[in-house]
Structure 1
Amino acid sequence: MTHTGGFQDDDFWTEFYDFLFSDQRFTQAEDLLDTSPLLALPTGARVLDLCCGPGVFTVPLARRGYAVTGVDRSPAMLERARALSAERSAPATYVEADVRAYAQPGAFDVVLNMFTSFGYFDDPADNARALRTMHDSLAPGGTLLLDLAGKELLAGRVTPPKVVRRGDDLLVQT
């Protein structure tokens, strides 16, 4: 498999699913929900999980009793999220939509955008549009939680290229 497409390419998420969404990532989300004061959400909160992917946060939030809506542009990731929700008896709503366009004015107490899923559009105006939809979807007094990796953090993680082989697949990460 050779893939050089960008994050907007649904094949990228499908082909590299096992590399991007390991069991460790799901465990990490559960741990964060158990320990982070930032994720100590009010009882009964209505949560919008933007760029939800395969439900890494959506499913455990739903299992904790929150009314969760997961939004992602990838049909393949939403299919996995729906399957995981069913498997774990974690009812959630899933919507296929672009983060720049999805807004439900005042419908959510909390908007999450996790695992540095923000800021990748080439045009800064598109990033601003995404922020506007997040803002517009919040109820008055709601909370926006953006998970971002700053340049200082990333600079500290500079490493040689990483090569991972799984069967016939090879991932080169630079």
Structure 2
Amino acid sequence: MKQWYEALFENYAESYDRETFTRGTLGECDFIEAELSADKSKRIVDIGCGTGRHSIELAKRGYKITGVDLSVSMLERARQKAGEAGVQITFLQHDARKLPFEGNFDVALMLCEGGFPLMETDEMNFEILRNVRRALVPGGKLIFTTLNGLFPLFNSVEQFCAAESSNDNAAYRQNSFNLMTFRDHNITEIVDDNGNKQILDCNERYYVPSEITWLLKSLDFVSIDIFAARLGEFSRQHVLTKDDFEMLVIAKLD
């Protein structure tokens, strides 16, 4: 039986590219480039690359990118878009829990919940981080976004999703946040690229900053900075608060 995240992205690539949260690509890549000091020699892996929006934009700027995703249809769309943009990117199908890389990259990106923290257990989510760490060289950098566990303690996830997705194809209802597991369960309704309605029983793990810090320290990351993740405006100046839905994490190996 397919997990919800497998079913969601099975036939959703074109619809995905029309979602509101995909509109921040340029600003987000500006931040990534600044974090890399515009060093085009850096080898980058984009984990959970989806339709390749960050990979393609960074490739346009001269970076060498490998994009990884679980979904065949998302990768097909990414290859199509890369061809149209005239850039060369290696796109590979892999499960982020079982990446084959070992010291192959200087930088790992994992944006817009690209794999982490969608898995059904905490152990699986941690395995993704472990695989990312293995893929990096000494001194490598990880830049990722994840759901902010402070948000649902003070705000309604259901109201936030309804407001943010009002113009999108996806609709969310029956959100239920579990204080013991920090998981939000919800019913997500989408219309796929063939016009078929899909109803998915989803659950996602929210993390508080101290958890993320502890998990990364256990994997030998020595520099860990956490900020608010704002659409198209990633910045080290944005202090994370209880009202930020996502957090931006920047971690570096020794």
- What amino acid is aligned across from residue 97 of structure 1 in structure 2? H
- The residue type equivalent to 1:22 in the other structure is R
> Out of 12, 28, 32, which is 1:32 matched to?
28
Q: CA deviation at 1:157?
A: 6.1
Q: Is the 8 A contact 1:25 1:56 kept in 2?
A: no
C-alpha distance in 1 between matches for 2:133 and 2:92: 18
1:172 pairs with 2:171: yes
Is residue 72 of structure 2 the alignment partner of residue 45 of structure 1? no
Partners in 2 of 1:21 and 1:107 — Cα distance?
29
Deviation string for 1:7-28 (max 9, x for gaps)?
122xx22554455332754441
How many Å separate the matches in 1 of 2:138 and 2:110? 19
- Given the alignment of the two structures, is residue 142 of structure 1 paired with residue 140 of structure 2, yes or no? yes
C-alpha displacement of 1:106: 0.7
C-alpha RMSD of the superposition: 2.8
- The aligned counterpart of 2:77 is 80
Q: Which letter maps to 1:116?
A: E
Q: 1:151 aligns with which of 124, 149, 152?
A: 149
Q: Which of 48, 57, 77 is the aligned partner of 1:60?
A: 57
2:96 is aligned with what amino acid? V
Equivalence map 1:93-108=2 (5 Å): 93-108=90-105
CA gap of 1:150–1:164, structure 2 versus 1, over 3 A, is: closer
Please give the alpha-carbon distance, in whole angstroms, between the structure 2 residues aligned to 1:156 and 1:40: 36
1:148 partner SS: strand
* Identical amino acids, percent of aligned pairs: 25
Cα deviation, 1:26-74, whole Å, max 9, x if unaligned, reads: 4411122124644655322100000000002111111111110000010
Cα gap change, 1:152 to 1:115, in 2 (>3 Å): same
Deviation of 1:140 (Å): 1.1
Query: Equivalents in 2 of 1:102, 1:48: separation in Å?
Result: 11
Counterpart of 1:77 in 2: which secondary structure? helix
Query: Aligned equivalents of 2:161 and 2:31: distance in 1?
Result: 32
Distance 1:41 1:145, change over 3 A: farther
On the 8 A contact 1:75/1:96 being kept in 2, the answer is yes
TM-score normalised by structure 2 residue count:
0.57
The answer to which structure has the higher strand fraction is: 2
1:103/1:134 contact within 8 Å kept: no
Which range moves more in the overlay, 90-99 or 34-43? 34-43
Asked if the contact 2:66/2:91 (under 8 Å) is kept, the reply is yes
- Kindly provide the amino acid, as one letter, of the partner of residue 173 in structure 1: Y
Instruction: Give 5+ residue unaligned stretches, structure 2.
Output: 174-254
Structure 1 residues 147, 40: closer, same or farther in 2, change over 3 A?
A: farther
Paired residue total: 166
8 A contact 1:52–1:70 mirrored in 2 = yes
What is the distance in 2 between the residues matched to 1:67 and 1:157?
Answer: 40
Residue 67 of structure 2 is matched in structure 1 by 70
Q: From the superposition, tell whether residues 30 and 161 of structure 1 become closer, same or farther in structure 2 (CA, over 3 Å).
A: closer
